[in-house]
């Protein structure tokens, strides 16, 4: 029955409060009643009546419940005596006799159990606040086995209800990234329901994502032992598989060696929770697309990485593509990246429709080695093939596709993936997209169309990341600035970094992780602004200066071999051309691989199972400008031109002309650039053509009308081709 709350008891009797969730407490008018009211059978009597239908029971029922060990006459006397004493202590009208029925008046009666039952649906937090322990904790009534059975039933039911609410709250905390609260709620839930697999699953996932693999596995072993000892059963297959993934680190999309370089996600709780919820819904209830937008350095990649970790813990296959600028014009290049990075080797692939695999094999070389290739008639056929493939893989394991930096993805793949998500219906799959809104590729037709359809024909959500607030920035500073000796220094450093980075987490983290290696700058940051000056007072150095120094400080920890690889890599683009680097450094394969591992561990480059790339374009720029002398840059550029000269691919050819701008500008170089632009226009490689034309324009003599005319003609041809 629903709880009633009234301010005055009937006929002026005092209010009665029964607190039964925990050690039982009886309050009359807000105070502890006379001692005889608190006798165990008296408390048992009013507690039982309070939770009975209409708060009433027959005399015979109550005698059997509490005095079954006595003859009927003595039992009746004991009941009458109990009623007399309770009326004296609680008010004459609190216990009402009607023939053979005894009723507890519900006027001004508050029972925490009833309030709990009423609140658990619409205000779970308030319901949990009522729980001080288990039902009638530590309370026993001698010689009343039926009462003990009744109390045990309520204890089990309320324990399950409490466990469910704790689990619900814990999952909300988990979704918001509060792993400590999630673990705490999971542990409390297990106390109420020690055989709950969802609770131990939450505990294990929260511990694993917080970096405490040992605690996650210990929780599983303890639960497994309890199941085998008390129930003679084994944990379920899903929970055992989770333990195996944690034990073998198979859930971690990137190397766990790098985890210490990632500060915990801070702030933006509602945005993060929304993102995690969308992705979890995708792999459990049906396909979803999470579309994350924001400026450079605001944490888009980090957010989808956290999303991928969570669903990988649940057994999802993760296929990631991080397109580079050079991929933008290559049809189906992003599909090929996804295939090479896990999708082509995913369990269940072979169960896809053979015709679909044959069509995809014409686009993906890795599939062509396994399946016969058939050229598709149109894009619709490819979309149907992708739908078949995703459905087959997801039938075996949930599937999560990640396209990071999708502003460089080719339009055909984006269109096909969006159409696939729209058509898959109940398939357990999620598509994660990140877009730098300031990038020139962010307005490509395929991307604009996909974004506009997310939440409409494509189920999912668009989330936008904004700069961190001052409070959120302080959390990052608190995590990474262990060299601050006081809260005042943390506050001061937070104000400084938040002001100068405009709340950009990438810049802030880059600075903080490197300041230990730049003690002079560290001291300057802590001491600025000077006494009496305002925060608007300019630093004696700019934020770009700070970032340069921070990155150079990170590079200074490398050995000479790794520095040489980094310098050679910076001559090219964001992607690392390993053959070119090998030629420029002269390193044998074993030493080159060791250097690449070192650079990846230090987060200067990344590897996505397909290729290496600089972690961010900013790193490429700083290495070029700060880690190479002018002479070194020129020598490496000339060597690179010589090595690339024989290549026919457009990316190598356009890199050559861009290098010639810095080394050998002149008429011959202009004509070479125009020839590359012409080839790119014919191939409809828009960005490559634009790069080649830009290089040509930088080299053209103002008096060279013919070359300038060629540039205008090619630009017009490029516009017409689009």
| Tens-place pLDDT, residues 288-332 | 999 999 988 888 988 998 899 999 998 899 999 999 888 888 889
**340-391: pLDDT as tens digits:** 888 888 888 888 899 999 999 999 888 888 888 899 888 889 989 999 999 9
Of 523 and 718, the one with more pLDDT: 718
For the domain spanning 150-248, the CATH number is 1.25.40.10
Q: Quick one: tokens of 238? A: 């899903």
Q: Is the peptide bond before 442 cis (omega within 30 degrees of 0)?
A: no
pLDDT band of 258, cuts 50, 70, 90: very low
The bridge status of strand 101-104 relative to strand 95-98 is: antiparallel
Whole-number pLDDT of residue 517 = 62
Q: What integer is the mean pLDDT of 113-127?
A: 93
Taking a C-beta distance cutoff of 8 angstroms, is the pair 207, 213 a contact? yes
Closest Cα to residue 662, out of 630, 710, 687, 690? 630
Instruction: Note whether 430 and 283 are within 8 A (CB).
Output: yes
Whole-angstrom distance, CA of residue 395 vs CA of residue 688 = 40
**Is the Cβ–Cβ distance between 642 and 351 less than 8 Å?**
no
Residue 556, SS3 per DSSP:
coil
Beta carbons within 10 angstroms of residue 547's beta carbon: 20
Share of the chain above pLDDT 90, in %: 44
Question: Residues 43-90: pLDDT tens digits?
Answer: 999 999 999 999 999 999 999 999 988 999 999 999 999 999 999 899
pLDDT in tens, 200-227: 999 999 999 888 899 999 999 999 999 9
Hey, what are 12's tokens?
A: 């002026």
* 16-19 vs 109-111, strand pairing mode: parallel
> CA-CA-CA-CA torsion for 485, 488, 491, 497, nearest 10 degrees?
-60
Taking residue 353's Cβ as centre, other Cβ atoms within 10 Å add up to 15
Encode 388-456 in three state secondary structure: HHHHHHHHHCCEEEEECCHHHCCHHHHHHHHHHHHHCCCCCEEEEEEEECCCHHHHCHHHHHHHHHECC
Q: Is 579's pLDDT higher than 60?
A: yes
Whether 260 shows a pLDDT value over 80: the answer reads no
Provide the terminal-to-terminal Cα distance of the chain, rounded to the nearest Å. 70
What's the pLDDT score for residue 619? 82
Kindly state the average pLDDT of the residues 668-693: 87
Q: Is 216:207 a contact under the CB 8 Å cutoff?
A: yes
User: Residue 555 has what pLDDT?
Assistant: 84
- The confidence score (pLDDT) of residue 534 equals 43
Q: What are phi and psi of 131, to 5 degrees?
A: -85, 110
Element (H, E) at 462: strand 460-464
Query: Residue 219: its pLDDT value, please?
Result: 94
Q: Which position has the token pair 């996804």?
A: 338
CB of 18 closer than 8 Å to CB of 46: yes
pLDDT at residue number 521: 59
Q: What is the pLDDT of residue 255?
A: 44
Q: Where are the domains of the chain?
A: 10-143, 150-248, 287-294+318-464, 470-554, 645-722
**pLDDT: is 545 or 382 the higher one?**
382
Tokens of 136: 């009638």
With 90 as the cut, is the pLDDT of residue 716 above it? no
Question: Does pLDDT of 703 surpass 70?
Answer: yes
CATH topology of domain 10-143: Arc Repressor Mutant, subunit A (1.10.10)
HSE-up (13 A, CA, CB side) for residue 566: 34
CA 240-241-243 angle, 5° bins: 65
Is residue 3 very low, low, confident or very high in pLDDT (cuts 50, 70, 90)?
Answer: very low
pLDDT tens per residue, range 404-425: 999 999 988 998 999 889 988 8
Closest CA to 429 of 304, 273, 290: 290
Q: What is the pLDDT of residues 162-172, one digit of tens each?
A: 999 999 999 98
Token digits of residue 91: 């008010």
Residue 533 has pLDDT above 80, yes or no: no
174 vs 204: CA distance, rounded Å = 11
Residue 78 contacts residue 181 (beta carbons within 8 Å): no
How far apart are the C-alpha atoms of 451 and 437, rounded to whole Å? Answer: 12
Let me know: does 399 contact 346? Beta carbons within 8 Å: yes
Distance (Å, whole) CA 60 – CA 76: 8
User: Of the given ranges (253-262, 481-490, 706-715), which has the lowest mean pLDDT?
Assistant: 253-262
What is the pLDDT, as a whole number, of residue 24?
A: 94
Distance of alpha carbon 387 from alpha carbon 424, whole angstroms:
7
Per-residue confidence (pLDDT) for residue 330, from 0 to 100? 84
Number of neighbouring beta carbons within 10 Å of residue 234: 11
- The mean pLDDT of the chain is 86
Q: Is 403 exposed, middle or buried (0-12, 13-18, 19+ CB in 10 A)?
A: buried
Query: Kind of pairing, strands 16-19 and 460-464?
Result: unpaired
Radius of gyration of the chain (CA): 35
pLDDT at position 572 = 83
Separation of alpha carbons 350 and 531, rounded Å:
70
């Amino acid at each position: 029955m629903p709880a009633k709350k009234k301010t005055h008891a009937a006929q002026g009797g005092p209010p009665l409060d029964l607190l039964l969730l925990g050690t039982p407490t009886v309050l009359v008018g807000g105070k502890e009643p006379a001692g005889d009211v608190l006798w165990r059978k008296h408390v048992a009597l009013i507690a039982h009546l309070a939770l009975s239908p209409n708060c009433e029971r027959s005399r015979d029922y109550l005698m059997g419940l509490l005095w079954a060990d006595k003859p009927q006459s003595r039992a009746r006397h004991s009941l009458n005596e109990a009623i007399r004493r309770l009326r004296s202590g609680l008010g004459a009208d609190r216990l009402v006799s009607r023939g053979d029925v005894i009723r507890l008046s519900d006027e001004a009666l508050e029972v925490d159990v009833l309030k709990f039952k009423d609140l658990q649906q619409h205000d779970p937090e308030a319901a949990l606040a009522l729980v001080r322990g288990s039902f009638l904790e530590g309370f026993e009534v001698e010689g009343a086995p039926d009462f003990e059975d009744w109390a045990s039933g309520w204890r089990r039911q309320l324990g399950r209800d409490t466990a469910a609410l704790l689990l619900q709250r814990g999952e909300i905390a988990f979704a918001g990234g509060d792993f400590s609260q999630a673990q705490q709620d999971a542990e409390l839930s297990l106390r109420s329901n020690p055989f709950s697999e969802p609770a131990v699953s939450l505990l294990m996932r929260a511990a694993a994502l917080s970096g405490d693999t040992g605690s996650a596995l210990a929780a599983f072993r303890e639960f497994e032992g309890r199941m085998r000892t008390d129930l003679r059963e084994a944990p379920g297959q899903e929970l055992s598989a989770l333990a195996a993934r944690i034990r073998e680190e198979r859930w971690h999309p990137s190397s766990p060696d790098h985890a210490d370089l990632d500060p915990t996600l801070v702030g933006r709780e509602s945005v993060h929770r929304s993102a995690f919820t969308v992705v979890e819904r995708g792999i459990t209830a049906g396909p979803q697309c999470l579309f994350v937008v924001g400026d450079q350095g605001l944490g888009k990649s980090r957010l989808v990485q956290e999303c991928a970790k969570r669903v990988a813990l649940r057994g999802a296959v993760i296929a990631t593509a991080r397109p580079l600028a050079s991929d933008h014009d290559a049809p189906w290049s992003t599909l090929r990246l996804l295939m090479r990075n896990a999708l082509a080797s995913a369990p269940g692939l072979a169960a896809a429709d053979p015709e679909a695999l044959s069509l995809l094999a014409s686009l993906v070389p890795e599939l062509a080695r396994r399946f016969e290739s058939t050229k598709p008639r149109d894009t619709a056929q490819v979309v149907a093939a992708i739908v078949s493939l995703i459905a087959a893989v997801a039938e075996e394991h949930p599937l999560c596709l990640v396209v990071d930096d999708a502003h460089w993805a080719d339009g055909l793949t984006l269109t096909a993936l969006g159409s696939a998500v729209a058509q898959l219906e109940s398939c357990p799959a999620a598509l994660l997209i990140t877009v730098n809104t300031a990038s020139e590729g962010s307005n490509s037709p395929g991307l604009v169309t996909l974004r506009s359809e997310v939440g409409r024909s494509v189920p999912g959500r668009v989330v936008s990341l904004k700069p961190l607030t001052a409070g959120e920035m302080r959390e990052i500073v608190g995590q990474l600035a262990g060299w601050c000796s006081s809260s005042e220094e943390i506050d001061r450093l937070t104000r400084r970094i938040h002001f100068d980075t405009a709340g950009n987490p990438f810049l802030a983290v880059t600075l903080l992780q490197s300041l230990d290696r730049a003690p002079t700058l560290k001291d300057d940051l802590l001491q600025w602004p000077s006494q009496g000056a305002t925060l608007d007072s300019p630093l004696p150095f700019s934020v770009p200066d700070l970032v340069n120094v921070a990155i150079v400080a990170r590079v200074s920890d490398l050995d000479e071999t790794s520095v040489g690889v980094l310098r050679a890599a910076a001559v090219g683009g964001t992607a690392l051309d390993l053959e070119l680097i090998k030629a420029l450094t002269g390193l044998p394969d074993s030493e080159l691989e060791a250097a690449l591992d070192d650079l990846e561990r230090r987060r200067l480059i990344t590897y996505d199972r397909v290729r290496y790339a600089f972690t961010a374009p900013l790193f490429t720029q700083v290495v070029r400008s700060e880690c190479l002398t002018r002479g070194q840059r020129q020598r490496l550029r000339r060597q690179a031109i010589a090595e690339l000269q024989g290549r026919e691919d457009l990316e190598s050819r356009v890199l050559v002309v861009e290098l010639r701008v810095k080394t050998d500008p002149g008429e011959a170089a202009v004509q070479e650039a125009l020839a590359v632009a012409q080839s790119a226009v014919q191939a409809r490689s828009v960005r490559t053509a634009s790069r080649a034309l830009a290089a040509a324009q930088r080299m053209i003599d103002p008096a060279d009308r013919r070359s300038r005319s060629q540039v205008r003609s090619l630009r017009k041809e490029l516009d017409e081709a689009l």
